[in-house]
Structure 1
């Protein structure tokens, strides 16, 4: 219990101070003039001022509060190098024992684990540990770390308590680190990808030349010399569209503490610079403009479009100089520059002698060597001028029966189409009728190869193929057995997904990775990796995942009931780095957070990082291999640490904070006593002055 003096004034303090000043001046003037009753008048004024100030005798009952000490233990990845883990365990245990022996001290132990893209954040963890307490109670913090800390405060003195550090590791460590300075997120297929790298040798003065090995999708593709300590541009080839894993590595140096940071990696999305499309329209009709508008709407597509308006048999005597038509450049398009096109589209084409058989045979060879062909058939496909009567027939997935079927029908997605990535997103729910409009012409054909994704059943007829996809050699072919997809674009009977269907169809033909039938994809979802497997089969094998450490994990996949052909699984994220996924023949890679963690940019043990904090807060620095320092309680204002080394010590400030549990107030001048004193003094004044 403590006792003190307090005041509860009846008037505001400014008024009361003014009254005091006036009373002092008056009392001083009376005493200076030696007026009769001067002292009595001064006493009367003092009693009145005391009455107005309300003096109180305050008795407080206090409860002492323990000071708070934080033991912050770094358990991040760099602490696993060498014998740092053993040093950390020994230091943490020794400090915990010595802290518990001090008494009157609340010890909060915090372990910083896991991985962050931007390195080790110990001071953020320290702020979190003290978020619910008054900083005035903090006696100090002791950090057990290797010195690789990346959130050192700019003004460490503002912490308000001593911060000590016991640093693991050995003095004089060496390490080589490869850092990706700049790396684009995508690359142009067929062009080298420029990457800026920097190789640093920490703990050594080496400034020579080393070599960077460049691997693309796991295969060594190039080696390039780089100067240590200097930024250098290296080049990696991009061979295909979609994700490409690029890995860079440098040789180890003798005695370095880890080889983890001797490599860097990234996943680059390969894209085609421009897509060249050749559209050949056999004759003008209502749907011709739909194809052109669709392809021209994509800024990445270079479209070459020809419509055959004047076939060779049309001879009407018009002079050539008066014709505004361009001669069909058959030789340039179908012989010299055919291989430059990514996609060829024949829209209602009929044989009229414009393209010789040799050029049509070139198209078949173009597809087998990796090209893409889309044929939207018209009435001519069922007759003698059909493309099926040319060398192109060798790569077509259907054969016409010679019958053109008329009558309204709604295109249907087949069971195979519900699994295929081209038509799966367009499929209506199972058992539901599609909401799109009808078409009115179908060229009857027998499916010879490939997969039928859409079918039609014109009035009075059974189900017939409508959309067939097939792989031929290294290329792909698609056949749409109707010329009325334009009805959807015009909004007839509500229209339909014409643009999306043809867009997905075109990109599948050009081997877009996201539209492959057999593929596996992975994406980060919080603390897990969501795995998605697409297959045309009835079952999907488990996903084999190669972790950043090189270990292989097997993840079972479960079928998604709402998406036929789609299987899903998940994997918890335990480390940052490059993950490789395989399921059957499908392959993919995923970069989780940074592939070049800041934690290992310079993992050598150092005292320099925390030296400014220790100096600003009065803390101490010592290496853990020198033993656990002694701990002392020191009064506020005294140095909180001794010299470093085996004889050094860390100090924790005695704050002496308390909590008031009870307060009792007793007036020193009760009103009745004050009034009695005032009356008595007034009578004395009257008595003295009345003589």
Structure 2
């Protein structure tokens, strides 16, 4: 590159003044038509030019390559239809054409698939572009080309788009006329009170030319309690579904619509709502048949939990006892028998009988109400005393319909340590109790000294005493549950006798099992995301070697072989890298696991579109091309030229360079100036002297 530069010997204003003074006599001479004025002007011009000190500058330049960025979309929606093949073909063609363009470096970024099984916020191509632009000088940026289906969720708007340093082009893969149908959970609570109703709002959306016969889909609903429903929904219609939470913990409701034959994807035809059930207050009714040493233990255990509302009655004086005590001194309040056992019996979460025996206080009708309460889903725990073995036993009431142990009439009075049965070592209520010891070993617990002899009539025996006699039994009756402890000496553990035992933990687990705590279910299949793996756990009372079949969100299946453990569980791990809904089954137990975002944004809209990228392309001078329209061309364009056409995309030539060397040659060297001045003066003197 050659140019002329000036290094004036005097300030420019002084040179300009000298030039003006020199031109004045020349102008006067011209006005008088004097001879030699042209030579005088030339001489003065040489003097002024010498003061300006011009020189010829020759720069040696190294032109810098411009940098273009290619962003390849690898999000889940690229896998729908023929999009992946179109993207791969376009990426290969881009690479070939970019290699042929002069003075251009290319950075290829693959983005949109990094969400994995974690939280997903959609396809973020501009986030990846901003990372690539971080070390690219704005004056060397040639432009960006995004190869995508158009479903980009972080497109900058307005001024943010205009601030991008170069043209942003979009190459759209997919068929704009393809159709899809999706089911969306519009609104669902994250938490709900157990026993109360919750409402979930659903909507079905359709895009594209959906076949007419399929435009009113039927939604299949599977509620947390296993019941199923169905409802018809018109596209765009919002419908609310109400159901009751029947247990604490995670309550998973699954909704689905059938897939259409040529639908883009069936992955968004299923939606899940996870509602965490919490108990407002646990309402417990404790009826103690007579004062005894363990009564205070029961009361302290229940009152220690601030979430428990306890109603406790102790029968101090049976009706048949006549001792002359004045009526006004018998009790502070009357025993509200009818209110508790007829009017409000269904309001209790758990009813406990502690050493209760028939004394005519509770009529058979009220005990029948309790049996109905259990069959309807209630929870009953009986801690039996010696009276259970004799004619005043609860077994000789309507409660025998729900109690699991029939008394033989015998009472075992000897010291013994309760032991876990084989079933008890696998049941979550008793498995892993501290001090239980290994099978065949005596537990590290204190002794009990009384046990009611019973014949099991159902349920599961978790703890045994002398000769394998049942100590603790659990049973399911109708929709409800029953637990029965055949000894009134559990309080010895709480007092620390002979080292005590896990009385509080055992009773806590039993009470929560009675109230259907999901973590204490004895037959269950669960799945939990831990890192990038799905941990599958099966709880069962009997060994089960069946593998678990896991259905991935894309419909593919894999089997997981579980490794059994002594506590009744078997576990296995399965790597997962795709967010969505996973269904699990081992043939008899089912489970659902939501990995990543439950209803991911990536599956909200899956139809190929240019609507999202068009505004940013227009703001930056870029263009949009559909890959299914045919071939495309890339070209270099000037800064002020158009950046895109109907079948071509332009990358800016910024013409940036580095100066590697400079050679400077004076245009008026001293000898030349002296010669010109002498020649001019001599010629002017000669001409004027004639």
Cα offsets for 1:363-421 (capped at 9, x unmatched): 455545544321212343455544345554563336356335354x6554444322110
TM-score, length basis structure 1 = 0.74
Cα offsets for 1:297-332 (capped at 9, x unmatched): 555544332211120121123343454344444455
- Tell me, yes or no, if structure 1 residue 454 matches structure 2 residue 463: yes
Select 1:312's aligned residue among 296, 313, 319. Answer: 319
Shift of 1:212: 6.8
Q: Is the 8 A contact 1:140 1:162 kept in 2?
A: yes
Deviates more, 1:510-519 or 1:391-400: 391-400
Aligned to 1:507: 512
Deviates more, 1:582-591 or 1:546-555: 546-555
Q: Is the 8 A contact 2:535 2:572 kept in 1?
A: yes
Cα offsets for 1:439-466 (capped at 9, x unmatched): 543325255254332345xxxx777543
Q: Is the 8 A contact 1:428 1:434 kept in 2?
A: no
Shift of 1:132: 6.3
Q: Mind listing any 5+ residue stretches in structure 1 that lack a counterpart?
A: 6-22, 32-58, 665-691
Select 2:298's aligned residue among 272, 291, 298. Answer: 291
Describe how 1:506-655 pairs up with structure 2 within 5 A: 506-560=511-565, 564-635=567-638, 637-639=639-641, 641-643=643-645, 645-646=646-647, 648-654=648-654
Q: 1:397 to 1:640 in 2, by over 3 A?
A: farther
Shift of 1:539: 3.2
Select 2:229's aligned residue among 221, 236, 246. Answer: 221
Shift of 1:616: 3.4
Q: Is the 8 A contact 2:59 2:659 kept in 1?
A: no
Aligned equivalents of 2:203, 2:621: Cα separation in 1: 37
Aligned to 1:445: 453
- Tell me, yes or no, if structure 1 residue 303 matches structure 2 residue 302: no
SS at match of 2:320: coil
Q: 1:397 to 1:63 in 2, by over 3 A?
A: farther
Aligned equivalents of 2:510, 2:204: Cα separation in 1: 46
SS at match of 1:523: strand
Aligned equivalents of 1:652, 1:428: Cα separation in 2: 77
Q: 1:420 to 1:653 in 2, by over 3 A?
A: farther
Shift of 1:149: 0.3
Select 1:141's aligned residue among 140, 144, 152. Answer: 144
Q: 1:197 to 1:284 in 2, by over 3 A?
A: same
Aligned equivalents of 2:421, 2:307: Cα separation in 1: 32
Describe how 1:118-157 pairs up with structure 2 within 5 A: 118-129=121-132, 137-154=140-157, 155-157=160-162
Q: 1:430 to 1:484 in 2, by over 3 A?
A: closer
Q: Is the 8 A contact 2:151 2:612 kept in 1?
A: yes
Aligned equivalents of 2:537, 2:369: Cα separation in 1: 39
Shift of 1:520: 0.9
Aligned to 2:113: 114
Shift of 1:531: 0.6
Aligned equivalents of 1:608, 1:575: Cα separation in 2: 27
Aligned to 1:101: 100
TM-score, length basis structure 2 = 0.74
Aligned to 1:405: 413
Aligned equivalents of 1:573, 1:443: Cα separation in 2: 52
Aligned equivalents of 1:469, 1:513: Cα separation in 2: 16
SS at match of 1:441: coil
Q: 1:541 to 1:134 in 2, by over 3 A?
A: farther
Aligned equivalents of 1:201, 1:388: Cα separation in 2: 61
Describe how 1:164-563 pairs up with structure 2 within 5 A: 164-171=169-176, 177-188=182-193, 191-198=196-203, 200=205, 213=219, 215-217=221-223, 220-223=228-231, 228=236, 232=238, 234-238=240-244, 240-241=246-247, 243-248=250-255, 260-261=267-268, 263-270=270-277, 275-298=282-305, 301-334=308-341, 337-357=344-364, 359-360=366-367, 363-364=370-371, 366-368=373-375, 370-383=377-390, 385-390=392-397, 392-393=399-400, 395-397=403-405, 399=407, 402-405=410-413, 407=415, 411-428=418-435, 430-431=437-438, 438-446=446-454, 448=456, 449-455=458-464, 465-490=470-495, 496-560=501-565
Between Structure 1 and Structure 2, how many residues are aligned?
Answer: 612
Q: Is the 8 A contact 2:547 2:560 kept in 1?
A: yes
Aligned equivalents of 1:570, 1:640: Cα separation in 2: 56
Aligned equivalents of 2:582, 2:81: Cα separation in 1: 25
Q: Is the 8 A contact 2:419 2:443 kept in 1?
A: no
